[in-house]
Chain A
Amino acid sequence: MSGILGGEGEHRLLMGNEAIARGALEAGVGLAIGYPGTPSSEVIQTLSRVADQISMRVEWAVNEKVAVDIATGYAYAGLRALATMKNAGLNVASDTLMSVAYSDVKGGLVIYVADDPGAHAGMEEQDNRWFTRLSLLPMIDVSDPQEGKDAVVMAFELSEEYEVPMLVRSTTRVAHMTSIVELGPVRELRRTPGFERDIRRYTRASPKWCMEQHERLNEKLKLLSGRVDGLPVNRLHIPEDGAERGVVASGISWSYLRELLDRHGLWDRVAALKIGTVNPLPRGLIERLMEGVGELLILEELEPYLELHLRAVASELDLRPIIHGKMDGWLPRVGEYTPELVERALGRLLGLELERSNREVEEARAEALKQAPRRPLPLCPGCPHRGTYTAMRMALRELGYKDGEFIVTGDIGCTILGMHPPFNLCWTEVSMGASIGLGIGLRYAGIDKPIIAAIGDSTLFHAGLPPALNSAWHRSRIVIAVLDNRVTAMTGHQPSPTSGYTATGGEAKVIEADEVLRALGVEHIWVADPYNLEEAKEAFKEALRCDGPSAVVLKRVCALVARRMGLTEQPYRVDPERCTGCQLCLRTLACPAMTLSPEGKAEIDGEACTGCGLCAQICPVGAIGRSEP
C-alpha cells in the first residue's frame, strides 16, 4: 500500500520526501527525474514504486546536471517537470540551472533539493539558500511534510505564472520526518507538447540578449516579491497586545519553535514570523514585525542567511532592533539545531528559565553514553567490496609494498568504507569522481608510489568518465579500480547504468564499465570477480605493473540486492574441530556475519551469511566450508 495514492481529503502518514512525491502528483507533473543522494532519494523512489498506476515518467538520470537538462527540455515543451537531488547535487546541476534561470520556461520546472545540516549523510553542510543569490532563482524552504506537498503544488503554479524555474528546499529532518498529511486532488494535465524556435529566449549567444534575459529575470522576481507576503508558507503572528520581542524561524526550527510556544504557553508573549520563501523574502511581513519589536531572535540552521538580510532590511528602514542569531554567537553555524538549542535561545530572549536541568541526571547520562562503544558502519556480510579491498591489500603486499608505500584515493559510496579497519585503504573522499583526478594530480606532483583510485560504478558514470578520459589522454600512471556492484548502493540501491533495469523496473541497456573505459582510451583493463580473491589479486598485480593508465573492474552484485532478489548462496560454516582460533578470518575481513564463540573459535551466523566464500579462502587450515543445504 502506498500512502501517496490516496484520494482528496484523505489523511495519510507520509515522510517528507513522500509528501514531495505526492505534491508532484497533485501538480500534474509529467516527468520526475533525479540522481540519488541522501536525503532526497525517496521522492523518485516513492514515485517509481507506483509508476504503473500514475501517468508520470519517473527516472534516475546519470547525474544531477543531466537530470536538470532533461527536465528543462521537458518544461520547454510546455509540460511540468520535477528534478530532485541532494545538497551537493545542486553543484553539479548548477551549470545548467544558472543558465536556465535566464530562459522563460513554459511548462513548470521545479528543482527539489534536500540539504543536510548535521552532515548525517557525511558530506558538506552546504547551505543552498545561497544558491538563490547566485542564480537569482526563487526558493521555498519547507518545514514539514504537509507544507512540502503544498509547496510543490504552489511552486509549479508560480513557475508557470512567472515563467521561471523554482527551487524547493528541505533538510534531512524535514525530508525524513513522517507526519500526517491531508491530501489534495491529483491532477493530470493533458497538454500538447510544443517547442518553437526563439533564439532570443533559448540561447545566450549574444550579450544583448543575455542582458535582456537578465533584466527580465529581475522583473519577474520583483513581481513575485509582491506576491509572497500572502503565500501560506509565510506567516506572521503578532499577539493581540503586541510584543516587545519577536522570533523569526524557517525550516525545521519553526516546528521546534511552535512546540515550545505551545508547551510553555508563550504565544501571547512573542511575535513570531515564519519565513517559507527565502527568495524573494516576505518583505511586507518582515517590515511589520520589525516595526513592532525591539529585540529579535532568528532561528535558521547553517548560515546566517535570514539574519544578514533582516539586518539589511532593518538598516534600510532605519530601525534598530537588537538581532540575535549566529552573528552575535547565540547560535551555532555548524550542525543542526535541536529542540534544546532553540529552547535555550528562546529562554534567553524572554529572560525565562525554560529548561529543567538536573546535574546528577546529566552526569549519569554522560556516563552511560561513554560506555557505548562506537559502531562504525561496516560493509555488509557478503559485500563484494570486502573481496576487492582484501585482494587489493594482498596484491600490494605480494608486490612488496608496505603501508604508506602506496596511495588509494577513495570516492563516495559504500566504496569509501574501505577506509575503516581492517582495510585502512581509502585516503581521500572529496566529490563524486574525484578519486581519479586526485590520483592524477598526486602523480603529477612527483609521487612515485602506486596510486589506485577506488570508485563505484554509479560514481564512475556520474562524474568519473571525464577524469578517466583525461588519464588516458595524457597516459597518467594510475590504476582505476571500479567497484562495480551493479547498483548505486550507498543511497539505497537505485539502478545504475550497469543494472539493466530502470527506476520503475523496466528493462534497460546494460553499460559495462570496462567497455566504456576501453572506448575512452584506457588500454589495460582487467575484469575480475571480487569473490575470487586469487583472480582479483592477480588482476591488481598486473594493473599495478602497467606503465600507463590501467583499470580493474570488479563485478559482483551488491550483497543486499542479491539478498533481496533471492540470489544469495548456501551459507558457510566453521568446523569447530578444525578452527584453531587464530582469528585471521575475522581480522582480515571483519564480516558482520562472523563472531567468536565463547571458546574463541570463529562462528558464522547462518541467517546473516550470504555464502560469498571469502572467509573460506582466508582460513589457513581449511576449517570453513559451505554448510549442507
Chain B
Amino acid sequence: MIREHNILIASVGGQGGITLSRIIARAAMKMGYRVIVGETLGMAQRGGPVQSHVRIGSQVYGPLIPEGRCHILIALEPVEALRAARYLSPESTILLNETVLPPITAILGEVPYPTLREVVEALNRIGCGVYHLNAEKLALEAGSKRCLNVVMLGAYMAYMEAERLNIITMEAAEEAVRESVPSRYLEANLRALKLGYEALMKSMSSSAY
C-alpha cells in the first residue's frame, strides 16, 4: 500500500504537462490507487509556467504537494525545474528534458537564462538526483514534437522500475496513453513511451549526476 507518492510535472503551457498529469493519474487509478491532481489551468495552452501536482496514495487529500515532499519532479523544461524548487528536498529525484524554451526577454539577452549545467548544479545543491535527456529529439524520432510529454512518461516508468517502485505497470501506462491522446497521434505516442523508457534506462546504467 502506498501512503503518499508525489509527482510534480513542471512545464510551459502548450508542452502537454496537463495531459501528462492526466495520463499518470488515470494509470494510477487503474492500479487501484487513490489519486489527486492539483493544478491551475489558466496558462495551460498559453506559454506561461504550469505546475501539475499528481498525488497518489491512501493518505493524500489536498491538491498541492507540501513543500519539500515531491518524490519525482518531471520537468519538461529545465528552468521550470528551478521554479518548482520549493517542493524539492534531498529525497527528490528529477527527470529533466534538456531542451529550453527561453522567454523573449532571455532571447534578446535582457535577462540571463541559466544553462543546463547551471540548472543541474542548482538542483544538485538542494541534494536532488537529476537525470536529463533530450526528450524533444526523441519525440521527433517518435513522430512529433507533441509527444515530448510521453517521452518523459517513459523516462518516469524506467526510473520507477529501476527503483523497484512499481506503482504503475507498463500496461496501465499504455492504456492510459491510449485513452488520453488523439488517435492519430497514438502510434507516435506509444513509440515515444518506449524511446523515453529506453533512454533513461541507458543513462541510468551509465551515470547519475
A residues lining the B interface (CB < 8 Å): 1, 11, 13, 38-39, 42, 120-122, 144, 172-174, 176-180, 252, 255-256, 258-259, 262-263, 338-340, 343, 356, 358, 361, 364-369, 371-378, 380, 421, 560, 583, 586-587, 590, 592, 595-596, 607
- Do B61 and A361 touch (CB < 8 A)? no
Closest 7 CB pairs of A and B: A177-B63, A339-B66, A372-B82, A178-B37, A368-B85, A368-B122, A365-B85
A–B pairs, 18, beta carbons within 8 Å: A13-B25, A13-B29, A176-B38, A176-B40, A177-B37, A179-B63, A259-B59, A259-B61, A339-B64, A368-B82, A368-B122, A371-B118, A372-B114, A376-B103, A560-B45, A586-B104, A590-B104, A592-B104
Instruction: Tell me the nearest residue of chain A to B111, going by C-beta.
Output: A373
Distance in Å from the Cβ of A544 to the closest Cβ of chain B?
28
Q: Which residues of A contact B62 (CB under 8 A)?
A: 252, 255-256, 259, 339
Query: A-facing mask of B92-133, CB < 8 A → 1, else 0?
Result: 000000000011111110011110001100110111000000
Distance in Å from the Cβ of A112 to the closest Cβ of chain B?
17
Q: Which residues of A contact B12 (CB under 8 A)?
A: 375
Q: Which residues of B contact A376 (CB under 8 A)?
A: 48, 103, 105
Interface flag for B88 (CB, 8 Å): yes
- Bound CA span A255–B38, Å: 12
- Do B42 and A180 touch (CB < 8 A)? no
- Bound CA span A356–B126, Å: 15
Given known A-B contacts A173-B38, A252-B62, A361-B126, A373 and B103 have beta carbons under 8 A apart? yes
Q: Which residues of B contact A13 (CB under 8 A)?
A: 22, 25-26, 29, 35, 37
Interface flag for B83 (CB, 8 Å): yes
Distance in Å from the Cβ of A478 to the closest Cβ of chain B?
30
Partner of B40, one of A120, A179, A262: A120
Given known A-B contacts A340-B66, A377-B47, A586-B107, A371 and B122 have beta carbons under 8 A apart? yes
List 11 additional A-B contacts (Cβ < 8 Å) besides A178-B38, A361-B89, A372-B114. Answer: A144-B61, A178-B36, A338-B66, A365-B126, A366-B85, A368-B123, A372-B83, A373-B105, A375-B12, A590-B104, A595-B102
- Do A380 and B46 touch (CB < 8 A)? yes
Partner of B64, one of A120, A173, A258, A373: A173
- Bin the interface of chain B by size: 35 or more
For A144, A372, A380, A596, the residue with the greatest tally of chain B CB atoms inside 10 Å of its CB is A372
For B29, B41, B43, B83, the residue with the greatest tally of chain A CB atoms inside 10 Å of its CB is B41
- Bound CA span A42–B41, Å: 10
Instruction: Tell me the nearest residue of chain A to B26, going by C-beta.
Output: A13
Distance in Å from the Cβ of B123 to the closest Cβ of chain A?
6
Interface flag for B204 (CB, 8 Å): no
- Bound CA span A605–B21, Å: 26
Q: Which residues of A contact B48 (CB under 8 A)?
A: 375-377
Distance in Å from the Cβ of A278 to the closest Cβ of chain B?
20
Interface flag for B90 (CB, 8 Å): yes
Q: Which residues of B contact A176 (CB under 8 A)?
A: 38-41, 63
For B26, B40, B114, the residue with the greatest tally of chain A CB atoms inside 10 Å of its CB is B40
- Bound CA span A366–B90, Å: 14
Distance in Å from the Cβ of B3 to the closest Cβ of chain A?
8
Q: Which residues of B contact A595 (CB under 8 A)?
A: 102, 107
Given known A-B contacts A587-B108, A592-B104, A179 and B35 have beta carbons under 8 A apart? yes
- Do A596 and B107 touch (CB < 8 A)? yes
- Bound CA span A587–B107, Å: 10
Interface flag for B141 (CB, 8 Å): no
Q: Which residues of A contact B187 (CB under 8 A)?
A: none
Q: Which residues of B contact A371 (CB under 8 A)?
A: 79, 82, 114, 118-119, 122
Interface flag for B34 (CB, 8 Å): yes
Instruction: Tell me the nearest residue of chain A to B112, going by C-beta.
Output: A373
Distance in Å from the Cβ of B184 to the closest Cβ of chain A?
13
Distance in Å from the Cβ of A127 to the closest Cβ of chain B?
18
- Do B47 and A369 touch (CB < 8 A)? no
Q: Which residues of B contact A421 (CB under 8 A)?
A: 105
Distance in Å from the Cβ of A198 to the closest Cβ of chain B?
44
Interface flag for B143 (CB, 8 Å): no
Q: Which residues of B contact A179 (CB under 8 A)?
A: 34-37, 63
